[in-house]
Structure 1
Amino acid sequence: MQKAGVVVDEVTMVSVVSAVGGLGTLNVGMWVHAFIKKNRIVMDVKLSTAIIDMYAKCGCIEKAKAVFDEMAAKDSRAWSSMIVGFAIHGYADDALTTFANMEESQVKPNDVAFLGVLLACAHAQLVSEGQKHWASLLESGRQPSMEHYSCMVDLYCRAKLFEKAYTFIKNMPIDPDPVIWRTFLVACKKNKNLEKGELAGHKLLELEPYNPENYALLSSFYATCSEWSKMSHMRKLMRDKGFKTIPGCSSIEVDGTVHEFVLGDWSHPELKEIREVLSDMLKRVSSLGHKSNVSEVLHDVSDDVKEEALCEHSERLAIAYGILKTKAPVVIRVVKNLRVCSDCHEVTKIISRVYAREIVVRDRVRFHRFVDGVCSCNDIW
């Protein structure tokens, strides 16, 4: 479009900014934002909201907040984008404060605003606060969506209120969708609740018999509960149906280029250097007494093999590359397609401390900001 000499406007840039947010490439996003300013493109409410959303999805909530604060007028979409941004970054108090300010500004909360505030409560295990906002949603006359119900189930599950979560699901006026049952199954997996987990797993297979993710999740659930025969049965079902699991994939942007790493893939041209950093990372982490959580490797193999597999998780490869190619105070930003496992989460906390680096990891659920051995999620995810 630029080569053709066509002048871009705010409508064009909304689409461009949204695309950048989907990729999570902060450097490109900052360039696009600078392009908008340089060309004096009108920063209307829609474009400003898109930029807020983009910065939030790129892991830079501070820049999102700066754009939000500069807006002369804010509609419900702008407010809700900021609330959701705070929520996915683990800043529950900021999300709740922004929601309260939205109401004080006489802007009626939309469905996304309620979704954001419930998400914030779930991520921070604020059960009473979440119940209060759920009641407010119902009193507003709005019809809760499946996503709202899912947030409440997530809230109870994170707080380990399994019976309350199960009762909530059973009493829903609409049939629970696969996302809700998956949320419940993941919680059962974390707490090795075999009875309720099997129930959720069977519901999933009924609703989505052709979704490989359901079989993989149920298989890993059985492995976590050391039900190896049942795990093998699920693996056999997957093979018989020709299902394949999605491999863990993490990406990191360095000097404008996005580098992707996949579990067990050693094809990167700087493999030797990456291995050296990985080795140094392992030594430093082990010297502080960290013991690998081998239960995260869902195969009936020796602990040594499991520890080796954990070291090859895609986010560790991406973080190692970030340490190799950048220096502090540059933030290491990683985007992962799956949830971060508990061992990688613990290891990344240690890495942030021993290397004195800020690390931001965006997984499929939320953002984790690691600074000096502490994560913004407070170990709740």
Structure 2
Amino acid sequence: MLLQLYSVSSPQIPPSHSHTEILKPNLLRSFNSPFELKQVHALLIKTNTPLSSLPLTRVGLVCALNPSFVYAQRIFKALEKPEIVVWNSCLKIIAEGDSPHDAIVLFYRLRQFSVLPDDFTCSFVLKACANLLDVLNGRIVHGYVEKLGIQRNLILQNMIVHLYALCGATGDAWLLFDKMPKRDVVTYNIMISQLIKTGKIDDAYDLFSKMPQRNVRSWTSMISGFVQCGKSKEAIRLLIEMENEGHRPNEVTVVAVLSACADLGALDLGRRVHEFSNQNGFNKNVHVSNTLIDMYVKCGCLEDSYRVFNAMQERTIVSWSAMIAGFAVHGHGEKALELYSEMIRSKMKPNDVTFVALLHACSHMGLVQKGREFFAIMTRDYGIEPKIEHYGCMVDLLSRAGLLKEAYEFIAKMPVAPNGVIWGALLGGCKVHKNIELAEEAIRHISELDPLNDGYYVVLSNVYAEAGKWEKVAEIRTLMKHQGVKKTPGWSSITIDGMVHEFEAGDESHPQAEEIFEMWGKLLVKMKLKGYVPNTSVVLLDVEEKEKEKFLFRHSEKLALVFGLMNTTPGTPIRIMKNLRVCEDCHAAFKLLSAIENREIVVRDRNRFHCFKNGVCTCSDYW
């Protein structure tokens, strides 16, 4: 029978070789082409070895995509094992390999030779379609599923929903989802992930709320989704609900929650998540450690972030870049540059994010020449083409240093169109160095590129106010009103005993408002004895000096600081989050108060961190 199956002239066996030696397992499995397979087959016949000794999956893989397909079929049919079982093994390997398209080709060949697919066949081909984002062939496989009557297979149904969602065929995914007679947690997770991916966070949460049961992946997807769309408070709330329902966060959940803590400056929760990670061995996960670094940096705890960095057994470029950026944003530019040198010595290659961090460090320190060098070697030595972020850093660097003309010329020569951030960097430098002409040029471009961003108009108002051009300040207010631009109210927050307290500028609604104002009065006396003079130029109102001082003393960060001094143990650090840039007067006041009250005061504003201690700030008054 075997000779009938395939007739081939058998090679001569050297007398010194026994049959056993010839058919060693490695020889049986070493064929890589149909020709070599036929030689092994001939040896089986010659040595009267059962055909079942052949590795059938390898037979299929060698013959699947060439004219020897029929030859493989004849081998399979000579055995008792169903042919489709072997082909399914081949499909699985091919679908998960480097060329998933070959799995689709093999599927069509099976149909061409009347090999009836089963649910496993369809699942492997669907996996190949998903890997290729091939919705066209996916629809055809879906048709076979319906035709074969295996559409009630929930795994297959979930794979088809996943494929449609993955390929952006959202309507088809929803249609199938709605028609499914049975759904499980996987089905819901697929649709929730797709809604989050397309930015429909409210719809995702609505579906999440309707789930009959949830697993850790359901909770994690929703928590991550809230973080991605800037709803970190909702993410934290969901974490609490998740734990109340008895689900333990996994490493992915931890990364998402730490990102939420970073956004909110929720240090206490971040520390608890860090402890939980250590207890569960998550600290070995590089993604968790990288997010911990970012969380501690953004919560104003630079030393803690550096401890995490130093404890890492494995570091990626993300680890190095995050730590370099942390030192830069906290005003430790020298340490940022030292760490970069250490990174290069460790043979780690920098990426575009690394150079953004380095340019930030140079900008915050006024290291113009060093910044120019980094901008040059980025492309020259590492082949990294500058992105808009790098150009923005360079404009910021030059503008802060007072090289406004050079910054303007740099913008004019950029190979990419400047955006509002680029012109905003120039505008910021114009404010510091009181250049009205260039400030007006910058705002002209900004009004076209980012017309609803109130921050830039406020900066220009500052420029005019400091020059005593109150009629121009009025014109800016009129322009903002005409364009529908509303000034973002300044607010600051401080967390005490796990509770977040928020203050707005001029806020008198807080339960301890009277006590806060009373204590501020006492602090003001001490500050004036140390030489403090209120800087009323930051008040953009044409009113009496006394009125300006009143507005000045009600800035949100001052209210938050006083509240913190009243409600924390003497000597403990105070950490404040602010949504806008810290003004010059608050900066001067905080330097004095850090010495008077013997406190470390950390303020995270829109641009950077200011760490006040013993009467000085890490920014060295250069911000």
TM-score range, shorter chain: over 0.9
Separation in 2, partners of 1:88, 1:289: 29
In structure 1, what is the equivalent of residue 348 of structure 2?
A: 107
Q: Does 1:310 align with 2:577?
A: no
In structure 2, what is the equivalent of residue 76 of structure 1?
A: 317
In structure 1, what is the equivalent of residue 490 of structure 2?
A: 248
Q: Which amino acid aligns with 2:416?
A: I
Q: Which amino acid aligns with 2:421?
A: V
Quote how far apart the aligned CAs of 1:145 are: 1.1
State whether residues 349 and 371 of structure 1, in contact with CA within 8 Å, keep that contact through their aligned partners in structure 2: yes
Residue 291 of structure 1, aligned match among 514, 533, 538: 533
TM-score of the two chains, using structure 1 as the length reference = 0.97
Deviation larger for 210-219 or 73-82: 210-219
**SS of alignment partner, residue 569 of structure 2:** coil
In structure 2, what is the equivalent of residue 167 of structure 1?
A: 409
Q: Which amino acid aligns with 1:344?
A: C
State whether residues 336 and 362 of structure 1, in contact with CA within 8 Å, keep that contact through their aligned partners in structure 2: yes
Residue 291 of structure 2, aligned match among 31, 43, 50: 50
In structure 2, what is the equivalent of residue 378 of structure 1?
A: 620
**SS of alignment partner, residue 459 of structure 2:** helix
Deviation larger for 339-348 or 27-36: 27-36
Quote how far apart the aligned CAs of 1:102 are: 1.3
Residue 154 of structure 1, aligned match among 389, 392, 396: 396
Alignment of 1:49-198 (within 5 A): 49-139=290-380, 140-198=382-440
Separation in 1, partners of 2:331, 2:299: 14
* Greater gyration radius: 2
Q: Which amino acid aligns with 1:38?
A: Q
State whether residues 10 and 42 of structure 1, in contact with CA within 8 Å, keep that contact through their aligned partners in structure 2: no
In structure 2, what is the equivalent of residue 27 of structure 1?
A: 268
**SS of alignment partner, residue 2 of structure 1:** helix
Quote how far apart the aligned CAs of 1:42 are: 4.9
State whether residues 286 and 314 of structure 2, in contact with CA within 8 Å, keep that contact through their aligned partners in structure 1: yes
Residue 16 of structure 1, aligned match among 251, 254, 257: 257
Q: Which amino acid aligns with 2:502?
A: E
State whether residues 92 and 121 of structure 1, in contact with CA within 8 Å, keep that contact through their aligned partners in structure 2: yes
Q: Which amino acid aligns with 1:257?
A: M
Q: Does 1:329 align with 2:571?
A: yes
Deviation larger for 279-288 or 3-12: 3-12
Q: Which runs of 5+ in 2 are unaligned?
A: 1-241
State whether residues 338 and 363 of structure 1, in contact with CA within 8 Å, keep that contact through their aligned partners in structure 2: yes
Separation in 2, partners of 1:10, 1:323: 37
Separation in 2, partners of 1:40, 1:76: 22
Separation in 1, partners of 2:570, 2:387: 43
Could you give the per-residue CA deviations for residues 184-213 of structure 1, whole angstroms, max 9, x where no partner exists? Answer: 111111221111111111111122233333
State whether residues 427 and 456 of structure 2, in contact with CA within 8 Å, keep that contact through their aligned partners in structure 1: no
Q: Does 1:237 align with 2:479?
A: yes
Quote how far apart the aligned CAs of 1:5 are: 2.4
State whether residues 317 and 351 of structure 2, in contact with CA within 8 Å, keep that contact through their aligned partners in structure 1: yes
TM-score of the two chains, using structure 2 as the length reference = 0.60
Quote how far apart the aligned CAs of 1:64 are: 0.2
Separation in 2, partners of 1:180, 1:287: 42
Quote how far apart the aligned CAs of 1:148 are: 0.7
Q: Which amino acid aligns with 1:151?
A: C
Separation in 1, partners of 2:484, 2:580: 21
Separation in 1, partners of 2:394, 2:439: 18
Deviation larger for 77-86 or 213-222: 213-222
**SS of alignment partner, residue 531 of structure 2:** coil
Quote how far apart the aligned CAs of 1:242 are: 3.6
Higher relative CO (Cα under 8 Å, sequence separation at least 6) belongs to 1
State whether residues 248 and 262 of structure 1, in contact with CA within 8 Å, keep that contact through their aligned partners in structure 2: yes
In structure 2, what is the equivalent of residue 206 of structure 1?
A: 448
Residue 368 of structure 1, aligned match among 593, 600, 610: 610
Separation in 1, partners of 2:311, 2:598: 32
State whether residues 212 and 244 of structure 1, in contact with CA within 8 Å, keep that contact through their aligned partners in structure 2: yes
State whether residues 282 and 288 of structure 2, in contact with CA within 8 Å, keep that contact through their aligned partners in structure 1: no
Q: Percent identity?
A: 45
Separation in 2, partners of 1:192, 1:41: 51
Deviation larger for 353-362 or 285-294: 285-294
**SS of alignment partner, residue 142 of structure 1:** coil
Separation in 1, partners of 2:431, 2:375: 26
Which structure has the highest helix share of the two?
A: 2
Separation in 2, partners of 1:27, 1:186: 34
**SS of alignment partner, residue 576 of structure 2:** strand
How many matched pairs?
Answer: 381
Quote how far apart the aligned CAs of 1:339 are: 0.5
Separation in 2, partners of 1:224, 1:189: 9
Q: Which amino acid aligns with 1:287?
A: L
Quote how far apart the aligned CAs of 1:364 are: 0.5
Q: Which amino acid aligns with 2:363?
A: A
Deviation larger for 89-98 or 157-166: 157-166
Deviation larger for 184-193 or 211-220: 211-220
State whether residues 189 and 225 of structure 1, in contact with CA within 8 Å, keep that contact through their aligned partners in structure 2: no
Could you give the per-residue CA deviations for residues 91-129 of structure 1, whole angstroms, max 9, x where no partner exists? Answer: 111111111111111111011111101100100001111
